[in-house]
């Protein structure tokens, strides 16, 4: 009998008890949203973004986190980010997620609170209907 640990773990029911949605932004989506919104990033490629995940300090983490936040501009961006995260969690058999977001990190950039909330809420509603 061949036991596959990765398959076993993937199939186990899970819960995500505290996740900041901005921190779930994958390098590919970061680059895509930067292009969509005309945002200049300090990275030229997805590979450079991936390499930035090798944090040497808290500041390295924060620099990447805020670069990612900078590409989130529209309701569609927040929807796409949230729905991509929920899709990954569904694929990993995560049954419960508690999503947090950083409103002041967006409102201080001129993004309306309802833009953020509406995008996230729409993704949650779609996920409930399509991933139940």
Beta-strand runs (E) in 1-129: 14-20, 94-100
Q: What are the C-alpha distances in Å from 106 to residues 46, 83, 123?
A: 23, 19, 18
Check: CB of residue 50 under 8 Å from CB of residue 26.
no
Q: pLDDT per residue over 16-43, tens digit each?
A: 999 999 999 999 999 999 999 999 999 9
- Give 1's pLDDT tier (boundaries 50, 70, 90): low
Q: pLDDT per residue over 43-92, tens digit each?
A: 999 999 999 999 999 999 999 999 999 999 999 999 999 999 999 999 99
The structure tokens 């900041």 sit at 20
- Pull the structure tokens for residue 77: 């961006």
Question: What three-state secondary structure class fits 45?
Answer: coil
CA–CA separation, 115 and 22 (whole Å): 14
Q: pLDDT per residue over 103-121, tens digit each?
A: 999 999 999 999 999 999 9
Domains in the chain: boundaries: 14-130
Determine whether 33 is exposed, middle or buried from the number of CB atoms within 10 Å of its CB (0-12, 13-18, 19+). Answer: buried
What pTM was computed for the model?
A: 0.92
């Amino acid at each position: 009998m061949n036991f596959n640990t990765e398959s076993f773990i993937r199939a186990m029911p899970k819960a995500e008890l505290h996740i900041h949605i901005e921190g779930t932004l994958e390098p590919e989506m970061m680059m895509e949203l930067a292009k969509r919104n005309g945002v200049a990033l300090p990275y030229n490629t997805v590979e450079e973004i991936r390499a930035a995940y090798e944090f040497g300090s808290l500041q390295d983490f924060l620099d990447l986190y805020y670069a990612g936040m900078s590409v989130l501009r529209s309701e569609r961006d927040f929807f796409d980010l949230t729905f991509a995260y929920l899709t990954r969690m569904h694929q990993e058999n995560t049954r419960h997620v508690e999503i947090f977001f950083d409103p002041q990190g967006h409102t201080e950039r001129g993004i309306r609170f309802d833009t953020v909330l509406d995008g996230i809420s729409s993704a949650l509603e779609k996920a409930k209907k399509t991933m139940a």
